[in-house]
Amino acid sequence: MMTRRPNIDYFLTKSLKNVMLCSCVLVLAACGGENITGEEQAPDPVVIDVPIAVIKRDLSIEDADMQRSITEPSLFIPGASLILKARANASAVEVDISASAFTDRLDDEGNRLPIDIKDLESSYDGSRLIFSMRAPADEDADDNEQPTWNIWEYIVETQELRRVISSDIVAETGEDTGPVYLADGRILFSSTRQRGNQARLLDEGKPQYAGLEEGRDVHASVLHVMDANGENIEQISYNQSHDLDPLVMPNGKIIFSRWDQFGGSKGVHLYQMNPDGSDLEILYGRHSHIDSEGNNADIHFTQTRVTPDNRILVALTPFEKEELGTDFVAIDVANYIDNFTPIASANSLTGPAQEKALFENIDIEVEISPGGYIAALYPLFDGSGRQLFSWSQCRLLAPLPENSADDAAPSVVPCSAESLVDPTYEKAPPLYGLWMFDPAEGTQLPLVVPQENVSYSEVVALESRPFPANPSSTIDTSKTALIDANMGVIHIRSVYDFAGDDLSPQGIVNMADPTVVAVEQRPARFLRIIKSVSLPDEDTLDIENEAFGRSRNQLMREVLGYTPIQPDGSVKVAVPAKVPFGISIVDAQGRRISARHENWLQVAPGETKTCNGCHDGSNNSAITLQPHGRADAEYASINTGAPSTGVPFPNTNPVLFADLGETMAETFTRINGVPDLTLDILFEDVWSDPAVQIPADNIEYRYADLQTSLPITQSCAQNWTSICRAVINFPDHIQPLFELDRSTLDAEGMVVADNTCIACHNRFDAENQLQVPVAQLELTGNPSPVNADLLTSYRELMFNDVELELVDGALLPRLVLVFDNNGNPVYELDEEGEPILDPEGNPIQVTQQVGVGSTMSVNGARSSAGFFAPFETGSHQGWLSPAELKMISEWLDVGGQNYNNPFDAPTN
């Protein structure tokens, strides 16, 4: 976040969106630090005949005024209580409904230890409250033995406060936050339980554990549902970082804040899905992390609320902020997918999609916001447009007059244009009150008068509002075979479709005609499906950082399999359900030709997930990006499909007759069934008409053809299932390729040629004499002298190095003389700039080592031409088999990790 002060012009031009009328004097008095008692209050100017609930925080407790951390949703901030007011007005009595919880947790003076409460929500009929609450900290317990966040419910009529999960053991299994009610009475929440993920780990032969988010700091918190009684807990989202703040929209869709960290943190965006886990897609914000000047900013979307007119209220939240409070905006998600990117059907709009929810002069980008800060915002559903909010006015500490006493305290004053730019004024502690904004009257009215050392972090009304509808699901319940196999289907209409633009080499119509574009001319040949590897915490497995190898950006990855891409760029294939997966487009050699798809996808059992195509997200300008990733936001597919029904695509095999509008993948799967993935790369030319032209040669890159250890199990080598993966570890699967005996023998068994990699790429020759490794590349499996936790071959392939030369029987870095830009020698100088002389009185010329670039790159096989070129057209052509080159290619494409299974890696 930026830390600059606003200038005077800024303060004068940014005014309140709506003028504060009757409460203005009251606010200024409170901001001056004076206590406002009940006797000083005028009669309530408004009465809302609806109860409200607020989370009240005692700021006299250390750290109680902290802003919630997006990256650590289980952070404990003590000092909260849950307050119920029978009416939303200043005179209504406050009742602490959380006072009866944890009454056995007392300090030495008999007072209850401070607790924490957050994520407050009400039921649709206003009869219940649901929230997260955490017991006091246990000073005698370690960090991993502290109480966890639990889901609690308060029933207004009976005044019953209960923990939803009654069992202590089950309740303490995970950190449960962000609860909301589904329309059917079940509870949706975020949790570190990772029920589905842990079940999958067991299927993979690993121990059950909660995986860390991709920054490897805390356990990932993702979405779950459970019955109203806390039973039948089920995981429904499979992000590898946090999915937080779920909310049920009127149409029944769930929206939530997702931390996208695939390949590095890209921010927190709004996503949507169905309560059954189907139809996951981005809703808003992937390219909206920008400030008022169009620059990248630490701005993320959290604390969602829906307004009666179906806009989304969100808090603009930085990843880390010391104090409570931020700004809220209303987002028009119906017409926009980013702040300046409208959906395709509304492409005449220019934005912005975001509008200030309350006050125009709140500015979280500066050190001190002229409009103060909002901590919570809740829109009423009574048709009035009124909003409840917690707000602290801008306040400053005035400089002390000269000759002030040593113990004098600075006075608190309201902000003015002059004082905001005066460096002698400092930011004062916030003073939060609870307010109601009425747009019809343009008034801001007090519901809870501001008090020093008190804040209000959340507010809801217990009012009746419409129950959500039942969303349409993309799960086909009739596909019992898919459901029983725990599989779903993905259908890409064309990988050549980039946000509505046809980027195929010769146009998609020509690409679909094998007589116009030959098979070998198609750039996109296969789709590779990869999955993430859940990383355990140190208590489960303490792995070394070297387990990730050259870069930790991709963490660890597994390959689920491949499927051919049809001539028109379409794909339809069955994939494992309830698994976070990514996709890559690869060429005929199995090398990725597309950018990494750095968003985790998922399908539910029986779901068919359809998308138009791909997207180039490299241009981060929010003005020029095209909508992608949300079905109702995209431009129409470039692939209009078959031109007629009952006839084949032009000049194709007549056996594959099409229906109007079908993609080639739809035609193929309608006739032959939806294929499973294969861990081998297999291609058969099914589209060429044998009566017209000779079909192209088959492609078969099979793991079974390897003469070294396979990265798959024997059962998966025989029959692919939803739990099959290729797990490629460098020491176990790549290094053996360099050590495999590749010698050629004559009839008498004598070696006539030896193409074994380590025969030449070794610092010792066949007679064990020291030598310079060929091409300055050593491929032995010894521990690297630079880093003993890596093999020499890995270090040499992946890192820059220096040239070696044989000097007097020793391998030493080769040194060359240094000359300046004019060709003059450069000499060594002492501290005073005088030349350093050798024993004969001559100046010593500077020397330097000669660098050697890395042969491989974690960016992928196509960025590793230094390795592959000799095997394609150079001196090593034919020395590695296509199956071996394919495995090296896929290993590089997923990140070139040292290990891709944490349980295979060395531990600390």
**Same structural domain for residues 433 and 536?**
no
What local confidence, expressed as pLDDT, does residue 9 receive? 42
**Residue 15, pLDDT above cutoff 60:** no
Q: Are residues 118 and 172 in the same domain?
A: yes
Regarding whether 507 and 422 lie in a shared domain, the answer is no
Spatial separation of the C-alpha atoms in residues 302 and 374, rounded to whole Å:
13
The more confidently predicted of residues 540 and 35 is 540
Residue 418: what pLDDT?
93
* pLDDT level of residue 408 (50, 70, 90 thresholds): confident
Residue 409 lies in a domain: no
pLDDT of 30 > 90? The answer is: no
The reported pLDDT for the residue numbered 472 is 80
Lowest mean pLDDT among 7-21, 335-349, 536-550, 884-898: 7-21
Residue 406, domain member (yes or no)? no
Q: Determine the Cα–Cα distance for residues 29 and 41; give it in Å rounded to an integer.
A: 12
Domain that holds residue 749: 732-893
Evaluate if residue 32 carries a pLDDT over 80.
no
Q: What is the CA radius of gyration of the chain?
A: 32
Q: What is the pLDDT at residue 293?
A: 72
Residue 267's SS3 state is strand
442 pLDDT tier (thresholds 50, 70, 90): confident
If asked whether residues 595 and 453 sit together in one domain, one would say no
- pLDDT band per the 50, 70, 90 thresholds, residue 616: low
What pLDDT is attached to residue 27? 37
> Is the confidence at residue 11, as pLDDT, over 80?
no
Task: Say if 479 falls within a structural domain.
Answer: yes
Q: Judge whether 855 lies within some domain.
A: yes
User: Is the model's pLDDT at 1 over the cut of 80?
Assistant: no
Does 260 lie in the same domain as 348?
yes
- Higher local confidence (pLDDT), 1 or 350: 350
Tell me, yes or no, whether 794 and 698 share the same domain: no
Asked if residue 899 belongs to a domain, the reply is no
Residues 197, 327: one domain? yes
Q: Quick one: average pLDDT of 621-630?
A: 69
Q: Is residue 467 part of a domain?
A: no
Q: Is the pLDDT of residue 623 over 60?
A: no
Chain position carrying tokens 């009257």: 441
Residues 526 and 613 in one domain: yes
CATH code of the domain in which 341 resides: 2.120.10.30
> What mean pLDDT is predicted for residues 619-639?
77
Q: Which residue among 704, 728, 752 closes a domain? A: 728
pTM of model > 0.85: yes
Does one domain contain both 641 and 707? yes
Backbone angles phi, psi at 482, to 5 degrees: -65, -45
pLDDT at 747: 85
**Angle in degrees, CA 297, 298, 304, rounded to 5:** 115
Residue 78 preceded by cis peptide, ω within 30: no
Q: CA-to-CA distance for 461 and 452, rounded, in angstroms? A: 24
Consecutive H or E run containing 890: helix 882-893
Residue 411 within any structural domain of the chain = no
Q: Which of 507, 560, 513 lies closest to 532 in space, CA to CA? A: 560
Kindly state whether residues 447 and 339 are assigned to the same domain. yes
**Which of the four pLDDT bands, split at 50, 70 and 90, describes residue 443?**
confident
Instruction: Give pLDDT, residue 403.
Output: 84
Q: Pick the closest to residue 632 from 352, 350, 353, 345 (CA basis).
A: 345
| pLDDT over threshold 80, residue 58 | yes
Sequence-distant (6+) residues with CB within 8 A of 653 are: 686, 687, 688, 689, 690
- State the pLDDT confidence band at 19, using cuts at 50, 70 and 90: very low
Listed ranges 89-98, 611-620, 849-858; the one with the highest mean pLDDT: 849-858
Tell me the one-letter amino acid at 178: G
pLDDT band at residue 730, thresholds of 50, 70 and 90? very high
Pick the more confident residue, 371 or 321: 371
In the chain, the percentage of residues whose pLDDT exceeds 70 is: 94
Task: State how far the Cα of 743 lies from the Cα of 738, in Å rounded to an integer.
Answer: 12
Residue 671 in this model has a pLDDT that exceeds 50? yes
DSSP code of residue 895: T
Q: How far apart are CA 163 and CA 355, in angstroms?
A: 38
Residues 520-568: tens digit of each pLDDT: 999 999 999 999 999 999 999 999 999 999 999 999 999 999 999 999 9
Q: What is the mean pLDDT of the chain?
A: 91
Q: What percent of the chain has pLDDT over 90?
A: 79
469, 248 contact by CB (below 8 A): no
Q: Is the pLDDT of residue 33 over 80?
A: no
Residue 14 confidence (pLDDT):
38
Coil/strand/helix, residue 333: coil
For residue 108, being part of any structural domain is answered with: yes
Residue 719 sits in the same domain as residue 863: no
- Supply the pLDDT for residue 322: 81
Q: What's the token pair of residue 241?
A: 């970082």
Same structural domain for residues 705 and 748? no
Amino acid at 670: R
pLDDT at 793: 98
Count of the separate structural domains present in the chain: 3
Structure tokens that stand for 656 in this block: 């594959």
